[in-house]
Chain A
Amino acid sequence: MIPTDSHDSQARSGALVGVGPESATRITPGNALRPEDIALEVSTGLVKPAEDAAEYALRLGDDALILAQRLGHWISRAPELEEDVALGNIALDQLGHARSFLSYAGGAWGKSEDDLAYFRREPEFRSAHLVEQPNGDFAVTIARQFVVSYYQFELYRRLTESKDSTLSAIAAKAVKEVDYHRDHSAQWVLRLALGTEESRRRIQHAFKLIWPYVDELFLDDELTTRLAEAGVAVEPSSLRGDFDRLTGEVLAEAELEVPQVPAAPGGGRRGRHSEHLGYILAEMQVLAREHPGAKW
């Protein structure tokens, strides 16, 4: 199912060494787990998630999907071309995770990733409020990225041990990518906080805006408790200690305080969202809904 490109890439590298490179660097697709592989396993009935696991995958997938949609908005708008590509890459990583999780979740209900992404209504989305928060200025996006990536890293790191082999495989692929997202956001937190007066003011303000949405990420409910007992999922509350410690180290180095702000009510996991999600979905879904079945 996973294509091997070893012959192809060897042939190409041989050509480069022998004749001299036409391109400075060699391009290979690699052979990591792809969303298409999961979709194929689901469609051929090789794997079928239990209802609970599918609900759980939907939460993780929706977080990644909405975040990817938010980050995609930065393309052509970042402060520098290089940062444009960096945020675009992160968005694409998140979109890849979303596709994998949604492809898997859809197996429980006979739905494709596209069915779930484009043809669900707002109350059916299970994403946390954090990821639907507006991009704001660059500092707000970095603050949101900082929180999301440290949370996702702790989550995926543990989820690689899941008894659900598809969830653990997706997590194993995702954790390395999210590790880089952590680094990217931490580097920028340090530079903004220790840069100019203006950049410091902005990142401080950004954390104040973002921090109310942190608590929701770590709330347990009946689903996560059931799944954690079965060894399938991770109790969100169990991630909080490492999250606080590791984000705390970066914030201390950046000479920033953890903002003392009350938590927002949340409710995203139950389909209760802020006013922002509707606009995100309108933009994300309009083409698929206007032209059902369209290919592009």
Chain B
Amino acid sequence: MKPPHGNPEMPASAGGGSDSSSAPTETTTQAPTDAPTNSTATAPGTTSPEATPQSQAQTGQGHRSAWPLWEVFVRSSRGLSHVHAGSLHAPDAAMALRNARDLYTRRNEGVSIWVVPADAIASSDPDAKGAFFESPQGKDYRHATYYTKSEGVKHL
């Protein structure tokens, strides 16, 4: 298993130093129970977003970031959905929104922002891609185009 991504200041003990590129964060929820390490969500160094600024400040040593990680979703205009734009560090939700505004809407990208504690996202296991996502392949009958129109049917 890989450590929560995107935090280069994570202590080496929290993960193998490898970098996960796509998933917002790894969680143990989908991992097999006998996985070699199933404790990434509670690894030392991952900080809880519920923690107060005080405790964050006190745990901050040197220049290592003590702020928890947040995932940022930006809606570019009315009618479109929020799209994952990236992540950031912030001491709490209010500051995370402001940091997201500063980092991800500098070029007029958005009209609405969501921030979500990275810990709160349960994600699918990238190692289980086959079992999870390859099943629908080849099942053409799940697409409307598979079927031919019956004779005499109107308004299709």
Q: Residue A25 at the B interface, CB < 8 A? A: yes
- CB proximity to B under 8 Å, residues A96-147: none
Task: Decide: B108 and A81 in contact? CB cutoff 8 A.
Answer: no
Known: A13-B76, A82-B99, A86-B98. A29 touches B106 (CB 8 A): no
Taken residue by residue from 13 to 57, chain A's Cβ proximity to chain B (1 for < 8 Å, 0 otherwise) reads as 100110001001111111000000000000000000000000000
Q: Of B80, B90, B109, B110, which one neighbours A82 at CB under 8 angstroms?
A: B90
A78-90 vs B, CB cutoff 8 Å, 1 = contact: the mask equals 0011110110010
A191 within 8 A of B: yes
Docked Cα-Cα span, A80 to B98, in Å, equals 14
Residues of chain A with a CB closer than 8 A to B103's CB: 82, 85
Interface size class of A (residues with CB under 8 A): 20 to 34
Per-residue contact bits, chain A 205-237, to B (CB 8 Å; 1 contact, 0 not):
000000000000000000000000000000000
Cβ contact of A25, chosen from B67, B90, B98, B109, cutoff 8 A: B109
Query: Which residues of A lie under 8 Å from residue B95 when comparing CB positions?
Result: 187, 191
Q: Is B137 an interface residue (CB 8 A)?
A: no
In the complex, residue of chain B having the shortest beta-carbon distance to the beta carbon of A17: B80
Q: Helix, strand, loop or mixed for chain A's interface?
A: helix
Tell me whether A82 and B74 are in contact (CB under 8 A): no
- Taken together as a complex, chains A and B put the C-alpha atoms of A140 and B106 apart, in Å, by 26
A247 at the interface (CB under 8 A from B): no
Indicate if the CB atoms of B107 and A28 lie closer than 8 Å.
Answer: yes
Cβ contact within 8 Å between A80 and B77: no
The reply to whether the CB of A196 lies closer than 8 angstroms to some CB of chain B is yes
Residues of B within 8 Å of A28, CB to CB, are: 107-109
Interface string of B101-132 (1 = CB under 8 A from A): 11111111110000000000000000000000
Is A82 in contact with B88, judged by CB distance below 8 angstroms? yes
Q: Would A80 and B67 be within 8 Å (CB), given that A13-B76, A184-B98 are in contact?
A: yes
A180 to B106, CA, bound (A): 13
Give the docked Cα–Cα distance between A30 and B74 (Å): 17
Inter-chain contact A80/B94, CB cutoff 8 Å: no
29 A–B contact pairs at CB < 8 A?
A: A13-B77, A16-B76, A24-B74, A25-B76, A25-B85, A25-B104, A25-B105, A26-B77, A26-B109, A27-B107, A28-B107, A28-B108, A29-B107, A30-B108, A80-B67, A81-B89, A82-B89, A82-B99, A85-B102, A86-B98, A86-B102, A180-B101, A187-B94, A187-B95, A187-B98, A191-B53, A191-B95, A195-B57, A196-B57
Extra A-B contacts (17), CB below 8 Å, given A21-B83, A195-B54:
A26-B77, A26-B109, A27-B107, A28-B109, A29-B107, A29-B108, A80-B67, A80-B89, A82-B103, A86-B102, A183-B98, A187-B94, A191-B53, A195-B53, A195-B57, A196-B57, A199-B57
